[in-house]
Amino acid sequence: MPNFDEIIFEVGEDEVDGGYCASALGYGIHTEGETIDEVRRNVREAVECYFDEGTVRPGLIRLHFVRDEVLTL
């Protein structure tokens, strides 16, 4: 069962188009932005739109930044 006190977004670099993409864990909320600041603004806006009036909104949005590294031998 999701914790309604917070919502967690996984944020990663978009390797194809550049910028960043963010997806909420356990919810169908996805957004993107060219910069980290733009992603932050877009995440807030997406959460506000997803949890419309009359629904319980999370009090905290957590951004979990994921970075892949590939090492060759």
Q: pLDDT tens-digit profile of 6-59?
A: 999 999 998 888 899 999 999 999 999 999 999 999 999 999 999 987 788 899
Q: How far apart are CA 26 and CA 37, in angstroms?
A: 23
Which amino acid does the sequence have at 35?
T
Helix or strand (DSSP H, E) at 11? strand 6-13
Other CB atoms within 10 A of residue 46 CB: 19
pLDDT value for 1: 45
What pLDDT is recorded for position 61? Answer: 97
What are the tokens at 34? Answer: 């060219």
Show me where the domains of the chain are located. Answer: 6-66
